[in-house]
Amino acid sequence: MSLETHFSDRLVARIQQIESRLVVGIDPRLDRLPAEISADDPEQALSRLGEGVIEAVAQHAAAVKPQVAFFERHGWRGWRALETVCAAAARAGIPVILDAKRGDIGSTAEAYAEALLGDEPGTLGCHVDALTVNPYLGSDSLEPFLVRVRDHGKGIFVLARTSNPGGAEFQCRDDDAVPIFEQVARSAERWGQDSLGECGFHGVGLVVGATYPDDITRVRQAAPGSILLIPGVGAQGGSIEDLAAAFDDSGLGAVVNSSRGIVQAFEQDPERPWQEMVQEAARDKQLALQGVSSAG
């Protein structure tokens, strides 16, 4: 996918082209593979599963979100499989949001940015459109990533209000006049101004869990130009019906992630072709999300 345009414009164009606000998370596990895929060779198994998922969801997913941990736990074989999967998505014209939640300072942050959002041959960055990042070391820790957003058409999704219960310990403490997640959202709106696309959104998105719909409203108000990446629907308890505040009047402004509910859909009926089950689950989620509107 060309990087001559802003990430936000590319993602919105994809959303409008296929009428989908779905992100398919790819979190592969070797102990939960379709019967047709052997786990003897981790690289081959992870690659076959990831490429098969991409093929199955190509007409239904606005983006895919490979989770780095599920690949790198298998060492160099997993890392090579991750590159294979990201490259397959890029060839299919599907934006890749790499879920790595990186965050560090100085030269370390720069190295992460080069590896995961750069253009050096042989690195993941060649195939990645956007990256999840952790803001809690401060704005200087994000600057190398923001350079890729401003100058190279990449995107980032900054952790704001995460879907896990323990996130509240720091993100919205009772004695904070303004919750930290809202402060992060305000900062993201400021960081993104130099990457504003024609679509009206910029390249600094925010991660906000579906498990806290009231906080989605607060984040949307604090960062009207950020595209929201919303995990937590399904297994974590979030409801599609509670997501209306994330979207504008045109149905834009957010994408919703589903991982296990789609990638592991084949477990519901092992007798059917596994990619058929994955495709069906993605289509169902795509249609369910079309029913959400900003009017609620």
Identify whether 101 is a catalytic site residue.
yes
Please, are residues 181 and 161 in contact by the beta-carbon 8 Å criterion? yes
Closest C-alpha among 280, 230, 169 to residue 21 = 230
Query: One of 65, 101, 154, 285 is an active-site residue; which one?
Result: 101
3-class SS of residue 142: helix
Q: Give the other-Cβ count within 10 Å of 214's Cβ.
A: 9
For the beta sheet containing 155-161, the strands, ordered from the edge strand earlier in sequence to the opposite edge, are 63-66, 22-26, 254-258, 228-230, 204-208, 155-161, 130-133, 97-102
Return the closest-CA partner of residue 233 out of 296, 292, 166.
292
The SS3 assignment for 6 reads coil
**Alpha helix stretches (DSSP H) within 19-133:** 42-57, 69-72, 75-91, 106-117
Q: How far is CA 89 from CA 242, 249, 278, 284, in A?
A: 30, 29, 16, 21
Catalytic positions, please? Answer: 101
